[in-house]
Structure 1
Amino acid sequence: MIENKLNVLRNEIDKIDKNLIELLSRRLSLVSQIGKIKSRFGLFIYSPEREEQLMSCRKKEAIKLGISPDLVEDVLRRIMRESYYKESKKGFKRLYSDCRPVVIIGGKGRMGQFFAKMLTLSGYQVKILDQDDWINAKSILINVGVVFISVPIHLMTKVVNTLPPLPDDCVIIDLSSIKTISLKTILNIHSGPVLGLHPMFSPDNENMIKQAIICCEGRYPESYQWVLKQLQLWGAKLYYCTSMEHDKYMSFIQSLCHLITFADGYHLFKENVDLDKMISFSSPIFKLKLITIGRLFHQDPQLYANIIMESHDNLILIKRYYKRLGTMLMWLERNDKIEFIVRFNKIKNWLGVHADAFFKDSCKLLQLITDMKK
């Protein structure tokens, strides 16, 4: 009798699930129609105001029905991500209709390919200039309107200095992760417009929705405003700073962060731990650490060697970090819990309201880790 009753209820659930899928299909169909309209009229694909208004209304409705607002938010954000993906597949309006050909130096690399895809979806004529094509550089760069430089950091200076003369109004856009040296090099060889962009996301992403791009002014910003608007049309969030400020923060965000992840991986390797057991025994927070380690070691070692070692300022910062580790080691050797707690509270106070916000974000992230199959 119990099994029969369960089967009746499960059948009802199956019917509701089927209805949910049909409703989801209808919603995505409407999204496709919206995508066509946005593409035609050059409307931004991502509207934070619209998204937050929708989210707020749906969460209030959920509360009235006795449903967790967090559940509704999780479901809607996943649906929205799929919706943005479908919208972006429809292409984008080309904001600068008179733009001459766009050349991407390093266009066969992952980030180069990503920008080539986005520009092509917007109707720009894109040409690729990679290391195998350099013999034809002059012909490829004839009458070029925009040049994106997407090459490894250690090759940036060499590539820039071997460029043939470009049209005076050609916009050169640097995509490297170190801005001070690269922009200075470009400004020295080109008298026209120069812009520094640093995409703060992996080129594995399908689109730029909600992705951060740091913008560093080089020269003649009025000449490349259309580029910035095109990025926003693609859904990117733009943040502006000087090249020196950019490099200062990248030392923390990239160089030091990647070195610490490398050190974690190196330590586990030297300890020769059983990874399968460690994964099985892991808490969600440690599994997230393992994911971060695995992601780094899945990629190109030359990329990370360049990011960490290309700037002398990175070495200075890493030495300060190493010295502070030594100080903490002394606390441990003395079993000085009081000193640890005092420092802990000082850092907590320094973080202020961000500590609470980071904690809430981490709870959501860790729940996603828990829900993973493995």
Structure 2
Amino acid sequence: MIPEKLKLTDERLIELLRDRLTILTESGLPTFEEQISSVAPLLAQLGVPEFVWKNTMAMSCLAVLSARSSEKNVTPQKITVIGGRGRMGKFFAQQLSAAGHNVSVLGNQDWEYADILLGEADLVLISVPIECTVDVIQRAAEYLAPTTALADITSIKTEPVQTMLKYHIGPVMGLHPMFGPSIKSFSGQKVVVCPGRQDDSFQWLLQFIASKGAELIVCTPEEHDWIMVIVQATRHFSRFSLGVFLAAEKIDIDRSLSMSSPSYRQEIDIVNRLFAQSPSLCVDIMLATEERCQAIEKLANTYSRLAQLVAKKDRAALIQKFETTQSFFKQKSDRPLESDYAIATFSS
């Protein structure tokens, strides 16, 4: 009963926010950011943490409004998405097409038309598996005009950006959408931007993504790849390992959930989402670079060392490890815990 009441309350709140933002928009409030800021004090008074209103509730409401305003004055671009029949490529193709751009798709069977699909494009977006990205960049570059903007959206950036800069003399940029292809919009999502050459040629694309509610994070390809070792590779391995363990032990997941804590339910949901993906995608993310493989090996060694302490029942050593790590997290982060709010919300 309580979850249903919460759902209805959330729906009413979102409707009120949408009405308020519509009024602000009609009165000429100029920017997307100012609309978000206008809602912030109200939600702060209600005790809603910043990460919630900034990345979920307010962003969801603003997505509809931004779509209306941003698509009125679109200058149509000729866009070709290489790999546009894949899930992520299809998402970008659909979003850009819905905004009024002329979007074409180039798949494995379409290379005989590459001179038209690529040679006449304003933007070529490469969305292919990690192991194919460099080869596809080299192949596509032969057909590109010097003015064509070339970008990729794979999860590694250093090698693809270097390859694009080497084989294409025109505008180059690396992008990494930090979300899966199952989402319905850019609202509340993050997109990493790695500048390469002639960034101005991509401003319309970045503005489009931002207008849909996404947050753009700019960094070098090298910084991106190092951060992704932690954000993607080791995280995937950790959850992959837990899933393999649960399956090997033939754990009754439904039964375990019936008597679980909110945090356990969250963890199982996350593991479930991982194993709902393509196996090759998950494995390729872990194996994409030697740096990722080495970090995963270090993580596995950490598991092994801690497991040995558990096997020895070395309570003092385990407490010492905990306290050292506890100190690290206290020093490195003073942000509120998102999981605390989520757990409190869904368990209340």
Same fold? TM cut 0.5: yes
SS at match of 2:335: helix
> Counterpart of 1:87?
65
> Counterpart of 2:109?
132
Further displaced range: 325-334 or 275-284? 325-334
Structure 1 residue 18: deviation in Å? 11
In structure 2, how many angstroms separate the alpha carbons of the residues matched to 1:315 and 1:20?
43
Structure 1 residues 44 and 209 mapped into 2: Cα distance closer, same or farther (>3 Å)? farther
> Counterpart of 1:51?
36
Structure 1 residues 220 and 136 mapped into 2: Cα distance closer, same or farther (>3 Å)? same
SS at match of 1:147: strand
In structure 1, how many angstroms separate the alpha carbons of the residues matched to 2:31 and 2:341?
28
- Equivalent position amino acid for 2:232 in 1: Q
> Counterpart of 1:161?
138
Q: 2:177 matched to 1:177?
A: no
Larger radius of gyration: 1
In structure 2, how many angstroms separate the alpha carbons of the residues matched to 1:309 and 1:44?
42
Aligned pairs for 1:358-369 (under 5 A) are 358=336, 360-369=337-346
> Counterpart of 2:273?
295
Q: 2:309 matched to 1:324?
A: no
Q: 2:264 matched to 1:286?
A: yes
> Counterpart of 1:5?
none
In structure 2, how many angstroms separate the alpha carbons of the residues matched to 1:343 and 1:256?
20
Which segments of 5 or more consecutive residues in structure 1 lack a partner in the other structure? 1-13, 63-68
Instruction: Summarize deviations over 1:263-298 as a string: whole Å, max 9, x none.
Output: 100000010111221111211111111001110111
Structure 1 residue 246: deviation in Å? 0.9
Further displaced range: 171-180 or 305-314? 305-314
Contact 1:95 1:226 in 2 (8 A): no
Contact 2:84 2:93 in 1 (8 A): yes
Structure 1 residues 342 and 251 mapped into 2: Cα distance closer, same or farther (>3 Å)? same
Further displaced range: 226-235 or 194-203? 226-235
Q: 2:342 matched to 1:357?
A: no
- Equivalent position amino acid for 1:106 in 2: G
Structure 1 residues 141 and 369 mapped into 2: Cα distance closer, same or farther (>3 Å)? same
Structure 1 residues 212 and 77 mapped into 2: Cα distance closer, same or farther (>3 Å)? closer
In structure 1, how many angstroms separate the alpha carbons of the residues matched to 2:84 and 2:27?
30
> Counterpart of 2:81?
104
Contact 1:34 1:87 in 2 (8 A): no
> Counterpart of 2:96?
119
Identity over the aligned pairs, expressed in percent? 26
Structure 1 residue 89: deviation in Å? 5.1
In structure 2, how many angstroms separate the alpha carbons of the residues matched to 1:20 and 1:368?
11
The number of residues matched between the two structures is 341
Structure 1 residues 267 and 77 mapped into 2: Cα distance closer, same or farther (>3 Å)? closer
Contact 2:161 2:196 in 1 (8 A): yes
SS at match of 1:90: helix
In structure 1, how many angstroms separate the alpha carbons of the residues matched to 2:56 and 2:217?
25
Structure 1 residues 246 and 18 mapped into 2: Cα distance closer, same or farther (>3 Å)? closer
> Counterpart of 2:247?
269
Structure 1 residues 299 and 168 mapped into 2: Cα distance closer, same or farther (>3 Å)? same
> Counterpart of 2:182?
204
Which segments of 5 or more consecutive residues in structure 2 lack a partner in the other structure? none
Q: 2:227 matched to 1:221?
A: no
In structure 2, how many angstroms separate the alpha carbons of the residues matched to 1:77 and 1:309?
30
Structure 1 residues 101 and 19 mapped into 2: Cα distance closer, same or farther (>3 Å)? closer
Q: 2:241 matched to 1:251?
A: no
Q: 2:119 matched to 1:142?
A: yes
Structure 1 residue 124: deviation in Å? 1.7
In structure 2, how many angstroms separate the alpha carbons of the residues matched to 1:314 and 1:259?
10
- Equivalent position amino acid for 1:54 in 2: V
Structure 1 residue 354: deviation in Å? 5.7
- Equivalent position amino acid for 2:280 in 1: Q
In structure 1, how many angstroms separate the alpha carbons of the residues matched to 2:131 and 2:161?
14
In structure 1, how many angstroms separate the alpha carbons of the residues matched to 2:252 and 2:323?
35
> Counterpart of 1:9?
none
Structure 1 residue 312: deviation in Å? 1.3
SS at match of 2:277: coil
In structure 1, how many angstroms separate the alpha carbons of the residues matched to 2:161 and 2:43?
46
In structure 1, how many angstroms separate the alpha carbons of the residues matched to 2:73 and 2:36?
24
Contact 1:119 1:126 in 2 (8 A): yes
Instruction: Summarize deviations over 1:87-132 as a string: whole Å, max 9, x none.
Output: 25536247773x6411111111222122222222332211111223
Could you say what the CA RMSD is over the residues aligned between the two structures, in angstroms?
3.3
Contact 2:55 2:189 in 1 (8 A): no
SS at match of 1:352: helix
Structure 1 residue 261: deviation in Å? 0.7
- Equivalent position amino acid for 1:145 in 2: D
- Equivalent position amino acid for 1:136 in 2: Y
Contact 2:114 2:143 in 1 (8 A): no
In structure 2, how many angstroms separate the alpha carbons of the residues matched to 1:213 and 1:345?
35
Contact 1:31 1:86 in 2 (8 A): no
